[in-house]
Every structure is written in structure tokens, then in C-alpha cells.
Amino acid sequence: MDATASLRDQARDLLARVFGYDTFRGFQEDVIIDVASGHDAFVLMPTGGGKSICYQLPALLRGACGVVVSPLIALMHDQVDALAQLGVRAAALNSSMSLEQSRATEAALLRGELDLLYVAPERLLTPRFLDLLERAVQKNRVALYAIDEAHCVSQWGHDFRPEYRELTVLHERWPRVPRIALTATADERTRAEIVERLELGEAHRYVASFDRPNIRYRIVEKIEPRKQLLDFLRNEHRDDAGIVYCLSRKKVEDTAAWLNAEGRPALPYHAGLDTEVRTRHQRRFLREEGLVMVATVAFGMGIDKPDVRFVAHLDLPKNIEAYYQETGRAGRDGAAADAWLCYGLQDVVQQRRMIEQSDASDEHKRVETRRLNHLLALCETTRCRRQVLLAYFGEQLSAPCGNCDNCIEPAITWDATEAARKALSNVYRIRQASPSGFGAGHLIDVLLGKANERIHSLGHDRLTTFGIGKELDARGWGALHRQLIVSGMLEPEGEYGVLRLTEAGRAWLKSGDALHVRASTLRAKTSRTTNAPKAATAADVPAAHQPLFDALRSWRREIAQTQQVPPYVVFHDSVLKAIAALRPSTLTDLAAISGVGTAKLDRYGKDVLALVASNS
């Protein structure tokens, strides 16, 4: 047998024995063999794709320690806990540990008693640690360097970590130790920057599909956002853990307080809270079941919780990359999950204003505006959302996905030619009468023929467009103005979102072309909640399996509490569901379930079999 074939056998054996899985996913096996044979690799895989095994297994195969650079301390601890459950010897070195703990870990590395060592980048770069590495490499104790969340090297995202740029020291000093860099970033420019900054030109590149088929995308029109959110939570995610993103800190606090008042346990998270509070909330979110985290974008990177069942946005993210990353935190375990976004005219005006008022250069503002426009196009599209989303990242999905709102219930469009003509003329007339212009609220009042004091004193009730728009209500006009902004015919300006007719708007008015836009989702809303298949939740366990499933869950909760680890570290929901369905009566039956490796079998096998037996 040649060396590679035997490596493959060993890899499969370890996968089954340690992790309890029968098959590799996608190119996992190729990466593992590649790195185990000493090559560098650059792995691009979406969140939940299974990146960790790509460096964990080669370290085990090489019989030395994998040194993993990871940006977040909380994440490191979870990984170390999860590995300990699998019987893998893992440790972390970071600023939260005592001197004694650190010394003990360093000694263990040198003695060859560690399989994986997680280290924060700033720690790795200290002379002391580099010196330790030197000694460890001399003794053949270092299997590989893994650079996790490699996009932290890029200044484009909000996860930029300057220390990542200095990680080139690793291959400069120890060129024979293979490196593997991993990221879930889907954005081509960031990928190119990673290769350049980390000098990965020679690395073999593995790019997975960035589709997350288990996530159902849904974008609804913002009408009464709080009520819409509450309906969504009550109808579809009664007991599930999830994240609600808001733009401002204040809105995060208000929304969390309001959810609690409505009887839904929720925690706030934003950069303005004390570190201690943030850590506590993050920890509770990971360790308790069914909590809602209401957060700004400060929350998220490295949140390794696999059973986040939904990500809801009460405000528009700033571009498609952000939307993809934030929604990607749902459903890492592969089970059904929802991405729900609620957006309206004000979101568009607000995001534009934020770009306009930022300190960035004009060039940068143009780039940001273009990126925002792609997201707006995704919001307004009547096509399969997943196709549009993936196309943005250069990936073609051959057929509509069947798992987004537009696929489940085809969007209705209407001929808005006449209405758009009225709206644009109205903007034009009002600008003529009052050159400083007006925002959508006032424009719509004029179209509807509202005879208020302000309109009268401005003389806007004498304009030809006064009262010509009775066919739509204020909400309908709001939606159309938003769509005219998205299609580039109107442009909001300044602090008050004063609307201006663009060149494209003028050209369209002259052209006589028709305009079809997405109809308000309002009408479709009621049928959607009743017709659409629901995302799977814990509650979807068949009734016959429910008692055992519940018993397993409370057993898991106790174990997790005693060991001070999150419940999913003991067993994922999917494992508990399989146990409840298959009712194994022997250790061999139990071992056959995906996610049950030897260490967990030794540790929990008897307990689980006893629970199954007593629940008959």
C-alpha cells in the first residue's frame, strides 16, 4: 500500500473513532491528506461546513501538536472543552489564564503530551512563545500551524486584527511545518488579500460551495417591526435560540427589554456594555437553551453555537457580505434554520445617510454605495434569493432553491408605470416650488392630497400633483418610493433624506418604458405563515419519540451543568433525536449513531442506554 492510501485509512479510522462520523464532507479528506503530508492549504468553507476537522485530524495523524491561531478567547475555550469530550488532548494559551496554567501547558507541549494548542495571535507573537515554538519544533512536537478566521488579516471586514499580519513569521522561521489557513469569507477581494498578506501563494486552495441549503431566506416589508418579529418568534421559534440584529445600541437595549416584557427571555449585546456583562451574556447564550441574543454587529464572529435556529434583522445590514456573514450564524449544525430580515424605506434612507456622512473618501463612499445597492437588489428581487445571493459571490446555482420566500410563495409584481410617473413628477414639481426639497413623508402627503397646514402654507396644494395619488395608501407609496430609490431613479440626500430625481429618473420619465415592481408583501403575509413549511425545531420530534427526547435533553442539561460546558458539547440535538428514534439497546448500536465516538461512548454510553431502557 502506498503512503497516501495508508494515510487515508488512518484518517477514516480516526474520523470514526474520535469524532464518531462515517464519512468526510466535501473535500475535508483531501485537505487532511494534503496537510498531513506536509503541504500548505487555504480552505474556504462556509460556516458550519466543517473546517475544524481539517486541522484537527492532520495534527492527530502527524502525531504531534497542531498550533491553532484563533482570535477569540471564548471560542478557544469551547473548542478545548469539545475536544476534551472527544478524548483529544487540547489546551489554550491566552491572557485569561494564570501563570501556573500557562507553564503547565508549555511543559506539556514540550513533552509531546498535547494534540492541539489554541493560542491568541498577540500571545503567539511574544518572544517567549516564539522561543517555546523553536524548542518544540526542534523536538518534533509541532505538527502544523492552523490560522483560523484568516480573514482577520484583512482590513476590509470589521474583524480586522493587526497581529494577523505578523503571522508570516511562522513560515519564515519554520518553513517545514505545514500551514493551513481557514476562513468562511465569501468575498473575493478579502480572499485575495489573505493570500497576499499571509503569503499563501504556494498553498493548495480548497473552495467549497458557499451555499447554506438549510438556511431559509426570507425578506419581509417593514410595517410594524416589533409585532412582525414577535409573530415570527411565536409562530416559528417558540423555544429556539437565535440572534436578533439591530443597528444601534439603544435599539438593542430597547428591543431586549421589550422581548423580556413579552415573556421571551432575551439578552442585549453591544460594544457599549462592560466587558464583564458582554462575556456573561455570551456565556449564557451558549450554555442555556432557547435564549434570544439581541445584538449589534459587535456580536458574532466566532460564535460557535451550532444550534442557533434563526437570525433576524430588524434593520438592514450594510451590504451583502455582512448579510451573508450574519445570517450564516444560523444552523451551523446543518438542521433547518431561518434568516429573517425586515426592511423598509427608512432603512434605505438611513444606510445611505450613514455612508454619505462617514469620513471615508469619495471613492470609498462610492464602493460602499455600490455594495449597499447589491443588497437592496436582493431585497427587491422576485427571483430565488439564494440564486441572487450566490451569484453575488460568483457562484451559479442551476435551479431555484425551493427554500426561500420567493421560491415557496412566488412574489407578485404589479405594473407601477403610472404610479411611478406620478411619484417622480411629484418630486420634480415640489423641487421646483421648494428647492431645498422634501423627504418621502411630505411627498406622499401631497400625492394623497392631505390638506394640512404645512402643505397649504407652502402652496403645495396648488401643484398639479396634489391629490393625484389616491389609488395607493401611504404604505403603498412608501414602498414605491423605496423601490424607486433602489432602482436608482430617486436619491435620498442629507440628514433628512430629501429625495432628488436622478438622471436615470429623468431618462425613464422621458422614455415611456414600463416599470414592474414587487408588490407589497403585506397581502401575502397571512398565507405565508400558514402555508410555508416550518423550519425544524426541537418541537418537530415525532410525538412517539418526544418523551425519550425530553428525557435525554434534561439528562444532557445536567451533565453540561456539572461539567460547565454548553449542552451541545455533550451531544448535538441531532444525536439526541437519532437516539430517541432508534432506541439503541447495546453499546454497539449506540456507537453506530453519527456523532458518537469512542470517548463519548465510554463516558455516556451506559447512562444513555439506561435512559432508553427506562423510557419504554
Residues that bind Zn ion (CB under 5 A): 384, 386, 400-401, 404, 407
Contact partner, 404, from ligand ADP, Zn ion, none, Cβ < 5-8 Å per class? Zn ion
Helices (H) and strands (E) in the chain, counts: 28, 17
What is the Cα gyration radius of the chain?
27
Nearest approach in angstroms of CB 532 to Zn ion is 12
Nearest approach in angstroms of CB 150 to ligand ADP is 12
Check binding of 440 to ligand ADP (CB under 6 A).
Answer: no
Check binding of 328 to ligand ADP (CB under 6 A).
Answer: no
Q: State how far the Cα of 347 lies from the Cα of 315, in Å rounded to an integer.
A: 7
Q: State how far the Cα of 165 lies from the Cα of 26, in Å rounded to an integer.
A: 30
Q: Which lies closer to Zn ion via its Cβ, residue 378 or residue 517?
A: 378
Q: Backbone dihedral region of 498: left (phi > 0), alpha (psi from -120 to 50 degrees) or beta? A: beta
Question: What is the separation, in whole angstroms, between the first and last Cα of the chain?
Answer: 49
Check binding of 17 to ligand ADP (CB under 6 A).
Answer: no
Check binding of 24 to ligand ADP (CB under 6 A).
Answer: yes
- Confirm if 608 and 579 have CB atoms less than 8 A apart: yes
Contact partner, 407, from Zn ion, ligand ADP, none, Cβ < 5-8 Å per class? Zn ion
Task: Name which position in 17, 25, 249, 429 contacts ligand ADP (CB under 6 A).
Answer: 25
Check binding of 566 to ligand ADP (CB under 6 A).
Answer: no
- Confirm if 7 and 61 have CB atoms less than 8 A apart: yes
- Bridge partners (DSSP) listed for residue 42: 181, 205
Q: Which lies closer to Zn ion via its Cβ, residue 384 or residue 455?
A: 384
Q: Per-residue contact track with ligand ADP, 283 to 322, x per CB under 6 A?
A: -----------------------x----------------
Q: What's at 199, amino acid-wise? A: E
Q: What's at 581, amino acid-wise? A: A
Q: Which lies closer to ligand ADP via its Cβ, residue 52 or residue 426?
A: 52
Task: Name which position in 32, 42, 49, 447 contacts ligand ADP (CB under 6 A).
Answer: 49
Q: Which stretch binds ligand ADP (CB under 6 A): 41-49, 222-230, 338-346, 474-482?
A: 41-49
Task: Name which position in 16, 21, 166, 209 contacts ligand ADP (CB under 6 A).
Answer: 21
- The number of residues making up the chain comes to 616
Nearest to 125 by CA among 72, 176, 69, 66: 69
Check binding of 53 to ligand ADP (CB under 6 A).
Answer: yes
Q: Which stretch binds ligand ADP (CB under 6 A): 48-56, 169-177, 221-229, 429-437?
A: 48-56
Contact partner, 416, from ligand ADP, Zn ion, none, Cβ < 5-8 Å per class? none
Nearest approach in angstroms of CB 361 to ligand ADP is 35
Q: State how far the Cα of 52 lies from the Cα of 57, in Å rounded to an integer.
A: 8
Contact partner, 401, from ligand ADP, Zn ion, none, Cβ < 5-8 Å per class? Zn ion
Q: How does strand 516-518 pair with strand 490-493?
A: unpaired
Q: Which residues contact 155 (CB under 8 A, 6 or more apart)?
A: none
Q: How does strand 41-44 pair with strand 204-207?
A: parallel
Check binding of 337 to ligand ADP (CB under 6 A).
Answer: no
Query: E strand or H helix at 205, and its extent?
Result: strand 204-207
Contact partner, 157, from Zn ion, ligand ADP, none, Cβ < 5-8 Å per class? none
Nearest approach in angstroms of CB 388 to Zn ion is 9
Lookup result for grid cell 410594524: 224
Q: State how far the Cα of 398 lies from the Cα of 217, in Å rounded to an integer.
A: 18
Query: E strand or H helix at 91, and its extent?
Result: strand 90-93
Q: State how far the Cα of 505 lies from the Cα of 612, in Å rounded to an integer.
A: 68
Task: Name which position in 51, 270, 481, 545 contacts ligand ADP (CB under 6 A).
Answer: 51
Check binding of 47 to ligand ADP (CB under 6 A).
Answer: yes
Chain residues binding ligand ADP by CB under 6 A are 21, 24-25, 28, 45, 47-53, 306, 332-333
